[in-house]
Amino acid sequence: MAQNNPYHYQDGKTDFRLTPEKETAGWRRYSVSFATAHKNLYPEQDTARGQYYRPRGTDLAPLVVLIHGMGDYSLTPLGPIARALAGRGIASFILKMVFHSSRQPGAIRERFPDLTPEEWLEGYRTSVIEVRQIADWAARQPELDGRKIGLVGISLGGFISAIAMGVDQRIKAGVLIVAGGNSAKVNQFSRHATTRRYRKISEEEYQELLNHYQHYRDEIGIKGFENVTPERPSYLTDPATFAPSLKGRPLLMLNARWDEAIPREATLDLWEASGHPQIVWFPASHAGIWFWYPVIQHKITRFLLSAFRDNIGELPQIDTGNRPGL
């Protein structure tokens, strides 16, 4: 194990427990639970939960892991996205991260999101490892093509997705929705009430943080992040740290022009560090981007179909009963 890689784990062929929930002409949905490979301080967080959408009529379907953001409400768009993907022959796994209220112990729920840097690192560590465990599981399923794994992450889920993709080459494509990089820029320029109340610092302090983090990024660019000791835990939870590993890989960024939570400066930092992937700006706020759901769904589906094209070809549209709005 590399000394500074918190996302390393041992694949013990974890047992995934699937329970049928619903069945339509286009897909089957299962509730899923499995033991996380990274044991947490609180037992409530040691069992991962989610939903698996298996499309009908396809062999060796690609799998896309859908990852919510901060707040349980951010799960809302993921069901419709999963059903739309199933209609095009792509399976989905909706992961409920340790940041979801159902997995938070009272001691964390009472303070969330006011956590220590160490607690944030533990949450990121667990979440990224769980994404990688899902990739392990997919490789063992006869109906899935383990060579075709993708991620769709919203906000905090976008951060997790970028890191997971950065540390795991099995993940072939990613869609990052209202995400960014460089936590100093997020904290300094965010107009979100919580961020401005607790994290605003002076310009001098901000520039010092930028300089220190840039030095770290330069150093890992030469030695690799596993071989450089970070000055702060936040360096290991920052998508910008892992962005160079995303260069040249299928990546789509969907962002809000008037995002009050993830400022443009942070989004452009991640975009530049990732090698200028395709980016789309919607005239919306952070949560308001979902008024554009029909367009977002179309772009996600078209992008993933293109990324997986050599595997799934042109699949027939299946009527899943999905509606274009939320």
**315, pLDDT greater than 50:** no
| Domain boundaries defined on the chain | 17-311
pLDDT at 41: 81
Tens of pLDDT along 192-228?
A: 766 555 566 889 999 999 999 999 999 999 999 899 9
**241, pLDDT greater than 50:** yes
Tokens matching residue 300: 């996600």
**316, pLDDT greater than 70:** no
Hey, how many other C-beta atoms are within 10 angstroms of the C-beta on 252?
A: 21
The answer to whether residues 89 and 315 touch, using CB atoms and an 8 Å cutoff, is: yes
Q: Average pLDDT for residues 302-318, to the nearest whole number?
A: 67
State pTM to two decimals. Answer: 0.91
The answer to whether residues 277 and 111 touch, using CB atoms and an 8 Å cutoff, is: no
C-alpha–C-alpha distance, residues 318 and 160, integer Å: 31
**310, pLDDT greater than 70:** no
pLDDT at 197: 55
**280, pLDDT greater than 50:** yes
CA–CA distance from 297 to each of 77, 79, 250, 324, 325 (Å)?
9, 11, 17, 8, 10
**321, pLDDT greater than 60:** no
Query: Bigger pLDDT: 24 or 321?
Result: 24
Tens of pLDDT along 25-45?
A: 999 999 999 999 998 888 888
CA–CA distance from 128 to each of 119, 224, 274, 284, 306 (Å)?
14, 19, 19, 28, 25
- Residue 201 has φ and ψ, to the nearest 5°, of -130, 170
Tokens matching residue 34: 């499995």
Q: In this predicted structure, which of 64-73, 92-101, 108-117, 195-204 has the lowest mean pLDDT?
A: 195-204
CA–CA distance from 268 to each of 21, 43, 257 (Å)?
41, 38, 12
C-alpha–C-alpha distance, residues 266 and 259, integer Å: 11
Parallel, antiparallel, or unpaired for β 251-256 and 171-177?
A: parallel
pLDDT at 233: 92
The answer to whether residues 179 and 259 touch, using CB atoms and an 8 Å cutoff, is: no
**133, pLDDT greater than 90:** yes
Q: Average pLDDT for residues 5-20, to the nearest whole number?
A: 91
How confident is residue 246, by pLDDT bands cut at 50, 70 and 90?
very high
Query: Bigger pLDDT: 22 or 2?
Result: 22
Going across the sheet that includes 251-256, the strands are 17-23, 27-35, 47-55, 91-96, 61-67, 144-154, 171-177, 251-256, 278-282
CA-nearest of 206, 177, 204 to 267 is: 177
Q: Average pLDDT for residues 110-132, to the nearest whole number?
A: 91
Query: Bigger pLDDT: 15 or 315?
Result: 15
pLDDT at 207: 96
Q: Which residue intervals of the chain are DSSP H helices?
A: 78-86, 106-109, 117-139, 156-167, 183-189, 193-199, 203-223, 239-242, 264-273, 293-307, 309-312
pLDDT at 230: 95
Task: Measure the CA angle with vertex 82, ends 33 and 88; round to 5°.
Answer: 130
Write down the mean pLDDT value for the chain.
91
How confident is residue 116, by pLDDT bands cut at 50, 70 and 90?
confident
Tens of pLDDT along 285-298?
A: 999 999 999 999 99
Tokens matching residue 46: 């040691």
Superfamily assignment of 17-311 in CATH? Alpha/Beta hydrolase fold, catalytic domain (3.40.50.1820)
Tens of pLDDT along 147-193?
A: 999 999 999 999 999 999 999 999 999 999 999 999 999 999 988 76
CA-nearest of 144, 162, 145 to 153 is: 162
